[in-house]
Structure formats: structure tokens, C-alpha cells
Amino acid sequence: MATTIGAFGALFAATFIFLTGSGLLSTLLSTRMAMEGFSSTTAGIVMSCYFSGLLIGSFVCHRLIQHVGHIRAFTVFAATATAVILLHGLYLSAWFWAVLRFLSGIVTFGMFMVIESWLNECTASHLRGRVFSIYMTLTYLGIGIGQQLLNIGDIRSNELFILTGVIFSLCMVPVSATEGVHPSLPETKPYHFFAIFRKSPLGMLGCMAAGLSNSAFYALTPVLCNRIGMSLHQLSWIMSITVFCGLAAQWVVGSISDRFDRTMVLGVISTAIAIFSALIFISRQTTFVTIFLQMGLFGMMMFAVYPVSVARAHDVFGGQDAVAVSAGLLFAYSIGASLSPIAASTIMTLSGTPLGLFAFWCLVNGGLAVATIYLRKREKIEIVPVEDQVAFVPMKSTSPVAMTLDPRADYEE
């Protein structure tokens, strides 16, 4: 393990640094808008622009990387991200911030693509699983630790924007100082969205539901906490505990899903999320301790939906076109993530309470549970024997390039 970390130390450091900044920025913007009196719907629209930017980035970022190389491209993306972050403190406007969030999404996707393709190029086949797990762990740790940085500055001033800009600029250092190869982007394999859906509808629906749930968490949980009177310190811990519990639970859920039919596991998880969210919405308990414990449990379930859904799709497709299939699933996730903040904020407004966010989660995951039951009952999905299922891999949505690192994908040196 130490040897692996040492070999990829610069790239792992860059990943951790920029995701720490990314985690801080997302929560900072949502909290600042709530404190400035922006409506939940307005905040949802602004935050959804980031996920739309990620979606657009998947189509445009590879061109710059192929044209100027990985190091120069990463410098361009990171420098642009730094400038965009600092511009948030220049002018407080929902529409101005929406444009900035869109640009942030594009350049952040580019940074993911550079790091992941570099790791892919330099990773021996027998180390792919280990490198992938370390990389995914660092993404969660960076985002979770970034929440705690909210406590070191005045959120109504520009201090935290400056700090976030500094963090993003620092992630250029390990990449720029690396004495390594100049890798090529992995070959892009075309995928057919509807063909994937026809063969693995549950995997596709699960990924879309995960996008709906996860992006609503990052975009609107700070708004929820502000509306119910949580302090900034309490908000940071609620965000952190949700992310950390989500990371820890993936290993447990993975062990379970490797021993049982994944359609059943996905149905149980989605049903549990729907019931748990409904109980929170109905109970209206808003004390810090209660929300803290509830969000820890919620994170354990919510962040498991995406990797279980991806694993389910790989069960059906096997090793055939694994990278292309994963790219299609990530596209489905991104569609859900782009729509989620707007839909969730609308439900929060219509319900008349910030706890309407839990009603949104109940509807999304309840819908996934119903779809699972319907598809199984109508025999619309293929039930893969447990012994033929692929191995579960803890993961987070980043870019399609990460899928080439996924040890489930066929890989030839």
C-alpha cells in the first residue's frame, strides 16, 4: 500500500487538494445564498448549473487535453477554476453565480479527466484495484474534510472564497512538478444510451436516481440546515458525517451485494431510504443531534445506490464493453444530477418547509423501489445468479476515464 501511494503520490495529492476545495465551495455557496435570503428555488437553479457544466465538460474537455497535453491542460483547468472561484466574491448575484457554477463544472470535469487518465496510463494491471480504491477514498475524504474549512472564516466576507481559490491553485503544484510520462487519453468507446437501458433498465434507473439524490444533498442540505437554524459549525459536521458514513458503508454494502441478488439489494436500499426520509419529513425533528444521527444513517444508504447500480449493470453486460457501459451509466447519473437541485428546491417550496428535501428523497427512492418491484414481477430484467455477479467496487461519480481504472473492466497492457 505504501509503495502504491508513493508511486502516485503527486496525483493523489492533487486529487485530495482540489476535492477539498470543491467540497468547501459547494457548501459555501449554498449556505451563503441561504443567509442572503435567496429562495430555495433560486439556490437550486444556481447549484444545478454546476452539474450541467460537468455534463458539458464530458464532451469538450478531452479536446484541450489532446491538443496541449495533460500538464498544460490541468494548469489551464485549475487556473480557470481559481479565477472563477475568486469572481464569486466580486459580485453577489444569482445569475452571475449560475454562470460561474456552470464554468466551474466544466473545468472541474477537466481536472478529473486529466488525473484519471494519468493514473490509468501509469497503473499496472495487477495494481488497478488498489489504485482505484485509494483514488475513490481520497475523493470522499477531500469532500468531507472540505466541509470543516467553513469554520475558519467569515462566511459573509470574501475570506472563504480566497481560501478556496488558494486551495485550487495549490493543486497545480504536485501535477506541474511531476517527473512522469505524458500519457494519452484512453480510447473513447461509443455507447448507445437506449441499448444500455433496454438491457439493464434497473442499472440505468438506479444511476439516475443516485444523481437525483446525491446532487440534492450537496446543493440543498446547507440551505436546509440554515433554514432550520443550524449554526455554521453544526452544518459543517452534518455535511461531513454524511460523506464519511457514505464512504464507510460502501465496503459493508459491497460485501452484502456480493452475496445476494443485486436487484434485491438495490430494492431494499431504495425502500429503506424512502421510508427513512418519509419518517424524518413527518416527524419534523430539527435538533442538531437528531439531524446529525439521521444524516449519518442516510449517507450510509444514499451513497450506496450508485455503486450498486453500476455493479448491477456490469452483472448483465459482463466484461463486454465495460468502459462504454460505465460511461452511459455516468451520463444517466449526470442527467439526474443536473435536474435534481431544481426539482428538490421546488418540492421544498411547495411543501412549505425546508424538510421538503426529505420528501424529495422519499419520492425519488420510492420511485426506484417501485420500478425494481415492477421489473422483477414482470420479468423485465435478467436475474443474474449470485455466483455469476461481478465484484462490487466502491466508487463515486467522477469522469468516464475513471471507468478504465475500474478493475471490472477488461484491460490489456
Q: pLDDT (tens digit, 9 = 90+) per residue, 5-49?
A: 565 778 888 889 989 999 999 999 999 999 998 888 999 999 999
Q: For residue 214, which amino acid is it?
A: N
Q: pLDDT (tens digit, 9 = 90+) per residue, 363-387?
A: 999 999 999 888 877 666 767 777 7
Q: pLDDT (tens digit, 9 = 90+) per residue, 227-241?
A: 999 999 999 999 999
Domain layout of the chain by residue ranges: 9-178+191-404
Per 3-state DSSP, the chain is made up of helix, strand and coil in percentages (nearest 5) of: 80, 0, 20
Q: What is the DSSP string of 114-181?
A: HHHHHHHHH--GGGHHHHHHHHHHHHHHHHHHHHHGGGGS-TTSSHHHHHHHHHHHHTHHHHHT----
Which residue in 106, 104, 76, 73 sits closest to 88, CA to CA?
Answer: 104
Could you give the CA distance from residue 401 to residue 242 in angstroms, rounded to a whole number? 26
Q: Can you tell me which residue has the cell 436475474?
A: 383
Q: What is the dihedral of CA 138, 51, 235, 29, to 10 degrees?
A: 120
Could you tell me if 62 and 113 are in contact, meaning their C-beta atoms sit under 8 angstroms apart? yes
Could you give the CA distance from residue 1 to residue 5 in angstroms, rounded to a whole number? 6
> 377: which residues sit within 8 A by CB, 6+ positions away?
none
Q: pLDDT (tens digit, 9 = 90+) per residue, 244-276?
A: 998 888 878 878 888 888 888 899 999 999 999
Which CATH superfamily, name and number, covers 9-178+191-404?
Answer: MFS general substrate transporter like domains (1.20.1250.20)
Q: pLDDT (tens digit, 9 = 90+) per residue, 187-197?
A: 656 667 777 78
- DSSP class of 149: G
Q: What is the CA radius of gyration of the chain?
A: 20
Other C-beta atoms closer than 10 Å to the C-beta of 121 total 16
Q: What is the sign of the dihedral through the CA atoms of 17, 18, 22 and 24? A: positive
Please give the pLDDT value at position 388: 64
Q: 213-222 b/e with 16+ CB inside 10 Å = b? A: bbbbbbbbbb
Could you tell me if 57 and 108 are in contact, meaning their C-beta atoms sit under 8 angstroms apart? yes
Please give the pLDDT value at position 185: 61
Please give the pLDDT value at position 102: 95
Which residue in 6, 113, 14, 97 sits closest to 57, CA to CA?
Answer: 113
Q: pLDDT (tens digit, 9 = 90+) per residue, 52-81?
A: 998 888 888 878 887 887 788 889 999 999
Could you give the CA distance from residue 341 to residue 333 in angstroms, rounded to a whole number? 13
Q: What is the dihedral of CA 303, 137, 388, 305, to 10 degrees?
A: 10
* pLDDT(181) > 60: no
> 378: which residues sit within 8 A by CB, 6+ positions away?
none
Could you give the CA distance from residue 174 to residue 337 in angstroms, rounded to a whole number? 30
Phi-psi region at 352: left, alpha or beta (left = phi > 0; alpha = psi -120 to 50): left
Lowest mean pLDDT among 218-222, 283-287, 326-330: 326-330
Could you give the CA distance from residue 283 to residue 271 in angstroms, rounded to a whole number? 18
Could you tell me if 390 and 318 are in contact, meaning their C-beta atoms sit under 8 angstroms apart? yes
For residue 103, the surrounding DSSP H or E stretch is: helix 94-122
Other C-beta atoms closer than 10 Å to the C-beta of 229 total 10
Predicted structure pTM score: 0.87
Could you tell me if 357 and 348 are in contact, meaning their C-beta atoms sit under 8 angstroms apart? yes
